[in-house]
Structure formats: structure tokens, C-alpha cells
Chain A
């Protein structure tokens, strides 16, 4: 035991003498762990929120009754069911805006709400009386109060309708982003008197009670337990998978650093190991000491990494939460809590990562014959064999990617394609670089050039890990950057086409809608009133919105973005015989133009011909668009309450003001095109903020890898540079050659990274995106972006090369002479 400790002390002394190497190892492992645990923490937090949201209503075995065709449930239906012995409780839900930020307004009826239902309703601390008696209460989690900057008891105004929430009250059990009020208050705030979103069924009624159909007909549907939760999980799954893939990628890049650092440390300590063995330290003791070292380092760096990951997650959470909310309507709680489970898993992954990264060095050190000469620079020995092996492995990886692309059908296979590409590229890089250097060497004219190429080849194995990390970082930056940029272009164009009307409004109810429509028809500044209505159905179990719209010539025919359509698409639709389907829907149900879509309606199945496919970016659910009159015919209950107005753009604010003055609370929501565009773009930016952050971090990690490798190399390389200096090459010239070498290698890496990145981008838009979200993006290239990334890469390399170079320049001729002498 004592021997192990002494051996360990001897081994650890290395890190004291080489703080740079230690820093690389430490930072690499810590960052890798941080990125991994950060992403895990984000995912865990989101899932926890979904579970809470899902169990909010299904707690204690409660079930949900939802309107069969979407829309609202009439309050009379609730009373009818209660009086038939069905223990249901009404809920009214809607999104409200407070100072531009969306919140979920939840109206509950606390007297019938089943116990065990955790909607953050009135609890012991607040009391039912205050909740029910005017003015009532708005209950919210402390995070919501903090976000609102509100003190308890404050009455907060909504952004529209001139309405004010009841005094706000903190309730730690309230779901994220939700304000809970009495259902009567909610109906009033939303201008939705007599309307209910859904009913919570405490338990199925007893045997003597009438059936659901006999009470309310086909108006309501019993949502199978877990369906909502499953929907939310399914819809958000791809988002989380993307996040996980990024986390994994970052972790792998981090591991490259650790591997490099460990590899160098083991190489550097071969002499020490030999000496230790020579003085009688057994292989077993040495193994124990080396292993303890790895474990100690892993726990130390991993611990810091876990903490860093927590901070990272906390920093990214608002963006992730905003994206999830905007994309899926999924609420994620704002407060992140340090969960012992993922602290443990973070440390475990750090340990496993460190062991994997150190495995090569470990076995090498242990297998070292006691009397072998230390060969710190023997990297090149089996290089040739090594390169062959890598080339073969790279081919295998590319083959796997190709196979996954050819036969894969799922998101996972999409990621296999990505992983295969990246791995293949990483494996192939040293082979390609070695080949290029060999070519350079062959074309060399003169001894110095010859030395330059030979020395470059000599350094390649040591640098290749760092360069590989750089390659992966560049490739993902090119790929992801290209995808995001392409998406931005497409999205903006699509949004312009989609948002054809200048003003959008939603009436508080059907009666109000009629009054507003009549009033609008008398206004000369309103060129057209485009009514809209919607219903929700499930097609092959997939939630799908059916939108009724008018085939208005100047609005939709000319502008509505389509991917493909039959020549008579709009006429067919106007006739009520054709439907436009979203790309997601077409892909998921494998529909093409001309196919017949069976839409379940309250009046039975309704077959319509698919006459067009339109892009519907960012919508996790399916969508079918039909003529509004056809919709009202098939769903007589669907409220026809939303309108798009065509007005001259400069008139829009005036029309909105006039409508608000005339109708006030009869308008549930009104906004102009510019505002929707602003919100949509913000959502878009939120969504990719996380991607961009992880992207940048990957680049930073690879830069650190390069710096670490170069620093360590710079030190050791003195023994090789000294003879060249002794042969008469000046330090200045040597330094220039060093910079040239590293820039050359980096540029070569970037050149390899470019096609890899482009393939990656293509794979993202054409494979992963389609599998994850159901829509494909046009593949676009952005040469200026590549130039930017290349410049960034070269700058990174130059910066990484600088510190060792400065040290070299500060090395006195006397030192060089001494090294030269010692080495010989």
C-alpha cells in the first residue's frame, strides 16, 4: 500500500513539473463532463416538467375528457355530465400575454377538482375561501412571480382586453409558467363565458350511470391515460435527441483532449516508469498507482465539470425553455435544482471517459520491458501500420454511415449517419495529412525543406488528436452553421408567404365574431376579411389540426407557400373537395398528391383529395387545410372566431385601434403581421441559441486541445530543434517554420473539414431534420460562412501556436546548445 502511495506521488510529481499538460487534461475532462452533464441536466429538467404537466391532471388516476373535434366544450355539457353522475371537473386553459411574455392561464373549479390533482390550485396556505370569493386569487409558482417581478397581492394587467388578473399569490406546487385562477375568473378574463377546454374525470362513473354517449353524444372523447404525456414526449423527443447528440459530440471532442493529454503524459513519463520498475516497483503496484491517478484526476476534474455543467445548464435553460414552449407548447420550470443522480452520473461519465482515454497509455506503460530504452519519440515507429489500420476503420465508419442512410428509417439511423461521417472523417484525417506530407517531402528541394516535411510528419501523430478535435469542431460548425443559416433563409421567406394578411384577430366567441365580421364589412379601409376556423382530429393517432380557410385570390393563391400542388388545387379546395396537407402530415402518413385523406368528423369520416403539400416549419403536429365552409359543414360546433384582414400595411395600426375601441373585450386577441413576424423570428433565434452556444463551445474545446498539444510538444521538440539550430538555422527562421507548419496543418484540416461539414449539413437537412421534425429544408451553401470558419480556424491555430513559440524564442542559445549536447 505504502509503495503504491509513493509510486503515485512520483507519478503525480509529473503534473507539477508540467502544469500546461495538467491544465489541458484537467480542462479537457472538466469541459467534456460539463457539456455532457449540462445537456443531461437540461433534458432531465424538461422531462420533469412534462411529467409534472402530464400528472397535473392525471394525478390519482384521473382521466381527461376532451372535445372530439377540437374547440371548446359548452359549460352545459359539464353540468349535464355531473347531473348524470359523471364526476367531472371543468378546466379552461389559454395562453395569455403579460408584457409580451406568454403564460398559461388555467381556470379550475376547486370544489369538483379531484384530490390528488396537482394543478397548483388553492392549498392549505392560501385557502379556498380567498380563491373563490371576489376578487379571487391568481396562483403561480415563485418563479413566475419572479419573472413577472410581482409581489404577492399585486394585480397584473393582461396585454389585451383591458383585463386584470386577481391578486397574485405564490404557490410552490403550481406548474411552470402557469397562472391558476377560478374558472369563472378565467372565463371572464378570456371573454369565453360558458366555455370549457376540457374535463377532468375523477373516476369512471358507477355501473348504474348512463354512458358518455347517451349524455353528450359524440361531442367528447375520453383521452386514454398517458396520451397527452406521450404526445408531449413524442413531440419533444427529437429536440432532446438533438440536444443529446450535441452533448455527446462535445463530450467526444473533450475526450480527444483528455486522450491527447494522457497520451503525452504517459510518453513523457516512460523514463520515470522505467526507473520505477528498475528500483523494484512491481507491475501490479504500478498499475494500481496509475489507475489511482486516473481515478483521482477524473473525480477532481469531473467534479469541477459537473459544477460547470450545472452552471451551463442554468445559463442555457431560459433559451431551451423558450424554444420548447414556442415549438411544442411544453412548459419547462425555470429553476434548476442540483440532482444527486446526475452529479453521480456526471462523475461516472468523467471516470469512464478518463479510463477510456487513458487506456492506451496505461497498457503501454505497463507492458514496457524493464530494461527497454526510453523512447519518448518513438511515435513514428508503427506509424505506417497504424495509418493503414485507421484508413480501414475510416472506411468501415463511412460504410456504416452509408448503410444507415440507405436502410435507416428513424432518427437514430440519422444520427448513425452523422456519427459514421464524423468518426470516419476523424479517423481518416491523419491518413490524409500523412499522405499530403509525404507528397510534400517528395517534392522538397534542399535539406531545410526536407527537414521541414520530415519533422512535420514526425509531429503529426502527436498533433493528430488535437487536429482531429479541430476537424470535428470545424465540420460541425460548417454543417450546423449551414443548416441554421439555410433554415433562417427558408423560414423568413416562408413566413412572408404565410403571413399574407396584415391584421390577425380572434373574437371572444361566435356571437362576437359575427358582430365583428359585420362591422368590418362596412369599413372601406378593410379590403378583405378572411375568416378562419379549426378543429382537432387524430390521424393514425397523430394529433392534427384541421384549418378552414378561404381560398382568397390575392391572399392565398398567390402567396401561400407550397411544396407541390395540382394545377386545380385552389379550385378543388374551394369546392370543398380538396385538402392541402402539411409536409409533416404527408410524410408521416406517406401521402402524395391525389391520394385520399379520410378525416374523422363529428358527422363520420370525410374523404378528401390531397391537392397540395405545403411546408409547415416548426409545427410538431400535423395540419390539413380545407375550405372554411366545408369545415363549418362538417364541424358545426367549430367556432368561426379567427380572422385575417387585408388592409393597406400603413392602415393596420389604425384598423386595430378602431377595432379595439369598438369591441374591447369581445376581441380575445388582435395583432398585426409585423408583431407575429417579430415573435416568430424571436422563437427561431431562441431555438438555435442553444445550438450556437454548443457549437461555439465545441470550437473552444478543440482550440484548447490544440494549444495543449502544441505546448507540450514545444517543450519536447527542443531536443529535435536544437540540432537544426546547431546546423546554422536561426531561431527566427525556425520560429517562422513552426508557424508555417501549424498553419499548413490547420489549413489542411480545414480543407478536409469542409466537405465533411457540407455532407453533415446535407445529412442534417435531408435526413435528421426529416426524421426529427418531419420536414426537409432546401440545401443551401454559404461560402462566406466557410471563409469565416477557415479564418477562425487559422486564427485559433496561430493563437495556439503562439505561447510555445514565444517560449522557444526566449530559449537562449546556451540552453539550446546544452540540450543538443545532452541529447547526443
Chain B
């Protein structure tokens, strides 16, 4: 789940204020949801339409993370993200008057290195967008089309091939993913079964990599209460072939909101109950002037899962317009595997 109010609001802020210092100038936009639709339970996901943009919702994203290894077995992480933020609802209209602003984030993480890049683009002119037949999401020369994943930034460039080994997986209740007790939510589905391989050029050196990738699609208009300060989110590839998604929304005035999905190796999802999940920070790291919990104990009681996670690189910090921590992790305990951790609002 990449969806919660903070990221949403932050994206709104970032998309409209390229530097954080500009943010105070445009206070109204984040809260004005007039005219936009809100997610409701019971909607059926439709493909390929739902792979594309939803102009009547304010915010959405196409989010790919991948855990890779080189020929020597060293761990690498790769991120590719495209965000869309609209200032007004309505049909996609061509030209500069189009209300969409697009933002791309790309990152490469190794045990010692973390490189990232950010791109902004206006809607309506073709610099960024998403088509459904065939499916293609792009911003500048960054592309994700289900078969290819390409991005570049200062000192890195990657081009990977993707192959899906399983079905698309609806998160929450058939794609309706609740984010708070007062009913704010998003539509959310994933493709956690990508096999990925290709070449990463890192600081001038070409490296062959292969591994597993996970794609999230999520869209909404207004996510959560103002009291929610951020979230911790995990996507895990277990060595059994099963997949696991867990998150908790941290609330300043209420208990954390926890949710998750256990995905069988054949792609069958099972929504996890709030009390079935325990997410416990074990150790903190100081990075970019913030203190973040980079080691965690994760428990899913009903599945007998009790693991500890460790970051491949504790300094996987995205110092982008909206700063957050996003990086590959390894697992130890009742289950083995690897995955991605995202932490916001620290």
C-alpha cells in the first residue's frame, strides 16, 4: 500500500511546490477534494482500464520495487514510481490546461550506495502519462510497461525485462483498501509475481542483475485523518513463493491502524485481521537528520510468521521533494526471503 493521506498530501505538496519551502504558499489544494470521487466498498476492479489513470480521483501511482542480486550474489534494490496528481477532476484534456501533474521517482540501492532521481511533468502534452492498450506508463524516457522497466538518473541507468509469474492481486476487500477507522480508503491492487532481469549501469559500471519485482497500483482522493503522521509499509517475497504485504498507519491520537494481505503462491489473497499483525521496531538509524526504525520484528500470528528484517542499506533515504525512506530489506526467523520497506512521516 502506498496510499495514505500523508503521502497523498505530500505528493500534492511536492507536485505543486517543487521545493518544500514553497509549500506554505499553497495551503488550500491538499484539502479541496470538491468534485473528485471517493473510493467506496464493493466496486469491482476492471482490467485493463484500472491499469490506466483515473481522472476523477485526485491522486494515484504506479509503483515498482525490485530485489535483485548480481552474479556474485550481492543484493540490490531498484525503485520505479510514477505519481499523478490532479488539481481538478474531469476528462483527460490535451494541452497545457490539463490539470494533471506527474512526478517520477527512481532509485538504485546497494549495501553502500543509494542513488535516486526525480522528474516532474505536466499532463496533456505527452511528456508523461499512462495508456492501457497496450499498457505503458512513462515520464520522459522512464518507462514501465509490464515487460520493460527503464529509468535513469545522475550516475545510474537501468533497463530491465519483466515477466509476470502469477495473477494480479486485489488488496483489502477486493481492491478496496481501508486506511483508517473512519473509513478513508483507496483502491489498491498489486502484481507481486514479477521476475526481473537486466542491466544496471551504476557509476559507469555495467552490472547484470536478476531477481523479483513487485508492482502496486493505487488511487484515491482523500486518504486519512490529519492525526495520522505517516506509515510503515512492507512488501515481502517469502522463500516459499508466498507474498506478504503489511502496513501500519501511525496515528498521533489513536492506536495504529494495521492491515495486510497474505498472498498464496498461486496468487490467492487473504486479508489479514488487524490484531493478527504485529509490527515492532527493533533498532533505529539516523539518516538525513532523522531517526528511523530500520530493523523490525514482524509477526502474523495466524500464519506462524515471526521474522526480523534488516535493511540492505540503512541509508536508503529518498531526499526528494517529499522525503521518505524506501529500500530493500532481508528477512530472518520463521520465514526467509527479501522485500521492500517504505517509511514516511519521520
Rounded to whole angstroms, the CA-CA distance of A193 and B16 in the bound complex is: 24
Closest-by-CB residue of A relative to B13 is A129
| Between-chain CB contacts (< 8 Å), 25 pairs | A76-B126, A78-B127, A82-B127, A82-B141, A83-B126, A85-B141, A87-B140, A109-B122, A111-B120, A122-B22, A127-B16, A127-B17, A127-B22, A128-B18, A129-B16, A129-B26, A130-B25, A132-B16, A133-B87, A182-B96, A183-B96, A184-B95, A185-B96, A193-B95, A206-B152
Residues of B within 8 A of A184 (CB): 95-97
Given A112-B120, A127-B26, A129-B26, A85:B140 Cβ within 8 A? yes
What chain B residues lie within 8 Å of A85 (beta carbons)? 140-141, 152
Residues in B whose Cβ lies below 8 Å from that of A78: 125, 127
> CB of B157 within 8 A of chain A?
yes
Residue pair A79, B96 in contact (C-beta under 8 Å): no
Q: Are A83 and B25 in contact (CB under 8 A)?
A: no
Contact of A208 among B24, B101, B201 (CB under 8 A): B201
Report A-chain residues with C-beta under 8 Å of the C-beta of B29: 129, 133
Tell me the interface secondary structure of chain A in the complex. Answer: loop
Taking each of A82, A122, A209, which has the highest tally of chain B beta carbons within 10 Å of its own beta carbon? A82
Instruction: Tell me if B138 counts as interface (CB < 8 A to partner A).
Output: yes
Chain A stretch 148-190: residues in CB contact (< 8 A) with chain B: 182-185, 187
Residues of B within 8 A of A133 (CB): 29, 87
Query: A193 to B126, alpha carbons, bound, how many Å?
Result: 15
Give bound CA distance, A553 to B146, whole Å: 65
> Are B96 and A129 in touch, CB under 8 angstroms?
no
- Residue of A at shortest CB range from B102? A111
Chain A residues with Cβ below 8 Å from B140 are 82-83, 85, 87
A83 contacts B138, C-beta separation under 8 Å: yes
Q: How large is the interface on B (under 10, 10 to 19, 20 to 34, 35 or more residues)?
A: 20 to 34
Contact A79 B126 (CB under 8 A): yes
Q: Which residue of A lies closest to B121 (CB)?
A: A111
User: Given the complex, which residues of B lie within 8 Å of A208, measured CB to CB?
Assistant: 152, 157, 201
**CA–CA, A109 to B96, complex, Å?**
9
Residues of A within 8 A of B121 (CB): 82, 111-112
Q: Once the chains are docked, how many angstroms separate the CA of A126 from the CA of B18?
A: 13
Q: Is A79 touching B22 in the complex (CB atoms < 8 A)? A: no
Q: Which residues of A contact B (CB under 8 A)?
A: 75-76, 78-79, 82-85, 87, 109-112, 122-130, 132-134, 182-185, 187, 193, 206, 208-209
The distance in angstroms between the C-alpha atoms of A206 and B155, with both chains bound, is 9
Contact between chains at A129 and B141 (CB < 8 Å): no
The answer on a CB contact under 8 Å between B25 and A124 is yes
Q: With both chains docked as a complex, state the minimum distance between the C-beta of B103 and any C-beta of chain A, in angstroms.
A: 9
Q: Given A84-B141, A110-B18, A126-B25, decide whether A79 and B125 contact each other with a Cβ distance below 8 A.
A: yes
Further pairs besides A83-B126, A83-B140, A208-B152: 18, Cβ < 8 Å: A75-B125, A79-B125, A82-B141, A85-B152, A110-B18, A111-B18, A111-B122, A112-B127, A127-B24, A127-B26, A128-B18, A128-B25, A132-B101, A134-B97, A184-B95, A206-B152, A208-B157, A209-B141
With A and B bound together, what is the CA distance between A84 and B126 in angstroms? 12
The answer, among A83, A110, A132, A185, for a CB contact under 8 Å with B127, is A83
Closest chain B CB from A700 CB (angstroms): 53
- Cβ of B72 < 8 Å from any Cβ of A? no
The proximity string for B residues 171-203 relative to A, scoring 1 for CB distances below 8 Å and 0 otherwise, is 000000000000000000000000000000100
- Which residues of A have CB within 8 Å of B19? 124
Within 8 Å of chain A (Cβ to Cβ): is B46? no
What's the least CB distance linking A165 to chain B, in Å? 16
Which A-B residue pairs are the 4 nearest by beta carbons?
A184-B96, A127-B25, A129-B26, A85-B141
B254 within 8 A of A: no
* With A130-B25, A208-B152: A83-B141 Cβ-Cβ less than 8 Å: yes
Within 8 A of A (CB), among B4-27: 16-19, 21-22, 24-26
Contacting pair A125 B127 (CB below 8 A)? no
**Residues 129-180 of B contacting A (Cβ, < 8 Å):** 138, 140-141, 152, 157
In angstroms, how far is the closest chain B Cβ from the Cβ of A274? 74
Asked if B87 and A132 make an inter-chain contact with CB atoms under 8 angstroms apart, the answer reads yes
B102-132 near A? 1/0 per residue, CB < 8 Å: 0000000000000000001110011100000
Output the least CB separation between B294 and chain A (Å): 31
Cα–Cα, bound, A43→B101 (Å): 44
Chain A's closest residue to B16 (CB) is A129
Whether the Cβ atoms of A128 and B122 lie closer than 8 Å is no
Chain B residues with CB under 8 Å of A82's CB are 121, 127, 140-141
Q: How far is the CA of A740 from the CA of B330 in the complex (A)?
A: 110
Of all chain B residues, the one with the shortest Cβ separation from A125 is B25
Residue from B21, B25, B101, B138 having most chain A Cβ neighbours under 10 A: B25
CB neighbours of A185 from chain B (8 A) = 96
Task: For residue A579, give the distance in angstroms from its CB to the closest CB of chain B.
Answer: 39
A130–B22 CB distance below 8 A: no
Provide the bound-state CA to CA distance between A456 and B97, in Å: 84
Find A206's partner among B95, B97, B125, B157 (CB 8 Å cutoff).
B157
Query: How near does chain B come to A719, taking the closest CB pair, in angstroms?
Result: 79
For B23, give the chain A residue with the smallest CB separation: A127
Contacts of B87 in A (CB 8 A): 129, 132-133
A79 to chain B: closest residue by CB: B126
A47 to chain B, nearest CB (A): 31
Chain A residues lying within 8 Å of B141, measured Cβ to Cβ, are 82-85, 209
Complex formed: what's the CA distance from A184 to B141 in Å? 23
A167 to chain B: closest CB distance in Å?
Answer: 15
Bound-state CA distance A125–B26 (Å) is 10
Chain B residues, CB < 8 A from A193: 95
User: Which residue in chain B gives the minimum CB-CB distance to A185?
Assistant: B96
Residues of B near A123 (CB, < 8 A) are 22
CB-defined contacts of A84 to chain B, threshold 8 Å = 141
B127: which A residues are within 8 A, CB to CB?
A: 78-79, 82-83, 112
